[in-house]
Amino acid sequence: MRPDSRLLLFLSLAGVLLVSACATPRGTGDLGIVIERAAGSVQVVETTTRTRLARVSGLGDLSHASVVYSRDARYAYVFGRDGGLTKVDMLRRRIEKRIVQAGNAVGGAISQDGRLIAVSNYDPGGVKIFTADTLELVADIPAGSGDSARRSKIVGLVDAPDRRFVFSLFDAGEIWVADMRTPRQPRLQKFSNIGKLPYDGTVTPDGRYYIAGLFGEDGLALLDLWQPDKGVRRVLDGYGRGQEPLPVFKMPHMDYWAQSGGLAYVPAVGRHEVLMIDQKNWTETARIAVAGQPVFVIARPDGRQVWVNFAPPDNDTVQVIDTLTLKVIRTLKPGKAVLHMEFTPRGENVWLSVRDENRVDVYDTETLERVTSLLADKPSGIFFTARAQRIGQ
Amino acid sequence: MRTRTPMTGIMLAALMSLGPGMAHAEVPETRQAELMHLLTQDCGSCHGLKRRGGLGPALTPEALTGKPAVMLREVILHGLPGTAMPPWKNFMSTQEADWMVQMLLEGRTDAP
């Protein structure tokens, strides 16, 4: 045996020992990721004893980054602003693979069968589809608006049952459904004139309805994915009642459909209100005045509470709505720039990222008191692995 | 509602009231740090942390080449009605907006 091969053998043995030392078998059901937007790193966290397990660096520009999980909840796919798509191993706590697939990206989704990753891009506008295991390009869907060649920015990309991805064209005001039964040749169904400037979209937890929020006019665009041929219809039309909208200093989001007792809760745009929609007939049933322009409106998994955070200058505030009385029951001031909120899988805790305080705060949702805080470098999005089992993400 | 209103009037007025000496807007240092934070974080939510664009266009020196500073300042203060660009006049003075434009045009990301 040559000396260098002996060294190699030693090194690989040491490697095996090292790997097995940190790879004590464990599940991933209580894991999650906290985005550190400026540092280009993510933290792997654990929600049972609320600790940070590791930091993984080298993910590029993570402003507006989001995450979806493989169905075994082992891998996180992190979508970065710079077009980066990074596959992170939650157990080995390292980057498995990273590609830069566009100049400017915004988010993505994983297919129903877990085999495809779709990324929505701003520049060049469109959707790219990759294999989930190796991140190889499968299909490219440029989003030219209507007949014109101008590319549109893509928002609100979700997966839907029957191997579909659904997304909205911000500039063109369209909703497209991509049928992925033949992955290399997506079949597109396009709906035009759905409304001005759709800013985000989401799907109901049963995967039936796709809803796009509109920035350019008061209302939402609704598509029944069980009967797409019936077309897109407008709901909550003119909820602003002709009043001049207030300025919006940060775009609201429609992360995961917030519902409770048959009612859905959505942010109003340009009004300091949360709108409530009866999901049987898609009409507005009530609206609740809140502290500012809502950004995220999210329901505790059992639907008992709805938590709301806000655009600047009210981004130091979080409000909790009781879904029985439809009243704001608590106004919290966690600190400057609360960017995101995520419930633990069954909702006993909610984690808040407080960017300017370099902290992630964990609240007990029953007492509404802070339980603990974790240090993080300018944290933004928080994503727990429970998302792996949800339609739409 | 939300229709684009013509900005030309405001901009012309602004142009006329302004001499060439706006290059060195005077803003106290502590305030500069706050403004830079606003520029990176809050403007960044639409224009990207690195100003390379997002829902809003890129604000890098290259992207802004040839655009008059006064026009940019007016866009920042009054927004672009009918688009997602909001008015920031309640967050900063005219002088502070001038300083911000200067930072954009010079591609500076460091607060002194």
- For A292-329, how does the pLDDT look when each residue is reduced to its tens digit (9 = 90+)? 999 999 999 999 999 999 999 999 999 999 999 999 99
Largest CA distance in chain B: 42
DSSP A148: S
d(CA B26, CA B32): 10
Flag whether pLDDT at A3 surpasses 70: no
Q: Is residue A212 part of a domain?
A: no
pLDDT tens-place string over residues A231-270: 999 999 988 878 889 999 999 999 889 999 999 999 999 9
Q: Provide the pLDDT for residue A148.
A: 53
- The number of distinct structural domains making up chain A is 1
Q: Provide the pLDDT for residue A15.
A: 47
Q: Is A246 in the B-facing interface, judged by CB distances under 8 Å?
A: no
Percent above pLDDT 70 for chain A: 93
Q: Provide the pLDDT for residue A104.
A: 81
CATH number of the domain residue A311 falls in: 2.40.10.480
Q: Provide the pLDDT for residue A118.
A: 97
- Residue of B41, B51, B89 for testing the chain A interface, max A β-carbons within 10 Å: B41
Q: Is A150 in the B-facing interface, judged by CB distances under 8 Å?
A: no
pLDDT tens-place string over residues A94-147: 999 999 988 888 899 999 999 999 999 988 899 999 999 999 999 999 997 555
Flag whether pLDDT at A21 surpasses 80: no
All residues of chain B having their beta carbon less than 8 Å from the beta carbon of residue A249 are 42, 86, 88
The structure tokens listed for A156 are 């609100």
Find the CB nearest A215 among B45, B54, B84: B84
Q: Is residue A86 part of a domain?
A: no
Minimal CA separation from B19 to chain A, in Å: 30
Could you tell me which chain B residue has the CA closest to the CA of A379?
B41
B10: confidence class by pLDDT, cuts 50, 70, 90: very low
Q: Is A122 in the B-facing interface, judged by CB distances under 8 Å?
A: yes
Find the CB nearest B53 among A104, A199, A251: A104
Q: What is the pTM of this model?
A: 0.90
d(CA B29, CA B85): 27
- B49 to A63: CB separation less than 8 angstroms, yes or no: yes
Q: Is A209 in the B-facing interface, judged by CB distances under 8 Å?
A: no
The per-residue pLDDT of chain B, averaged, comes to: 83
Could you tell me which chain B residue has the CA closest to the CA of A355?
B41
Q: Is residue A319 part of a domain?
A: yes
- The residues, any chain, with a CB within 8 Å of residue A294's CB and separated by 6 or more, are A252, A267, A268, A272, A273, A274, A308, A309, A310, A311
Query: Which domain range does residue A324 map to?
Result: 251-333
More confident residue, A375 or B16: A375
| Nearest CA-CA partner of A253 in B108, B72, B55, B20 | B55
Flag whether pLDDT at A379 surpasses 80: yes
Minimal CA separation from B84 to chain A, in Å: 8
All residues of chain A having their beta carbon less than 8 Å from the beta carbon of residue B88 are 249
pLDDT tens-place string over residues A263-276: 999 999 999 999 99
pLDDT tens-place string over residues A51-85: 999 999 999 888 789 999 999 999 999 999 889 99
- A-B contacts at Cβ under 8 angstroms: 70
- A199 to B84: CB separation less than 8 angstroms, yes or no: yes
Q: Provide the pLDDT for residue B24.
A: 54
Q: Is residue A258 part of a domain?
A: yes
pLDDT tens-place string over residues B63-110: 999 999 999 999 999 999 999 999 999 999 999 999 999 999 999 988
A336: confidence class by pLDDT, cuts 50, 70, 90: very high
- The three state secondary structure string of chain B is CCCCCCCHHHHHHHHHCCCHHHHHCCCCHHHHHHHHHHHHHHHHHHHCCCCCCCCCCCCCHHHHCCCCHHHHHHHHHHCCCCCCCCCCCCCCCHHHHHHHHHHHHHCCCCCC
- Residue of A62, A63, A121, A355 for testing the chain B interface, max B β-carbons within 10 Å: A63
- B84 to A197: CB separation less than 8 angstroms, yes or no: yes
Flag whether pLDDT at A178 surpasses 90: yes
Q: Is B87 in the A-facing interface, judged by CB distances under 8 Å?
A: yes
Q: Provide the pLDDT for residue B19.
A: 41
Q: Which amino acid, residue A207?
A: G
Flag whether pLDDT at A340 surpasses 90: yes
**Domain B28-106 belongs to what topology?**
Cytochrome Bc1 Complex; Chain D, domain 2 (1.10.760)
The full set of domain ranges for chain B reads 28-106
Q: Is B1 in the A-facing interface, judged by CB distances under 8 Å?
A: yes
Q: Is residue A310 part of a domain?
A: yes
Q: Provide the pLDDT for residue A69.
A: 98
Q: Provide the pLDDT for residue A124.
A: 86
- Residue of B40, B55, B85, B110 for testing the chain A interface, max A β-carbons within 10 Å: B55
- B1 to A38: CB separation less than 8 angstroms, yes or no: no
Find the CB nearest B52 among A104, A199, A242: A104
Helix axes B69-78, B8-16, angle to 10 degrees: 130
Q: Are B33 and B111 in contact (CB under 8 A)?
A: yes
Find the CB nearest A153 among B48, B52, B55: B55
More confident residue, B106 or B17: B106
Q: Are B72 and B64 in contact (CB under 8 A)?
A: yes
Q: Which amino acid, residue B9?
A: G
d(CA A54, CA B62): 38
Q: Is A3 in the B-facing interface, judged by CB distances under 8 Å?
A: no
All residues of chain B having their beta carbon less than 8 Å from the beta carbon of residue A61 are 48-50, 52
Find the CB nearest B50 among A61, A122, A218: A61
Q: What is the CA radius of gyration of chain A?
A: 21
Q: Provide the pLDDT for residue A23.
A: 54
Q: Is residue A370 part of a domain?
A: no
- A245 to B2: CB separation less than 8 angstroms, yes or no: yes
Q: Are A305 and A320 in contact (CB under 8 A)?
A: yes
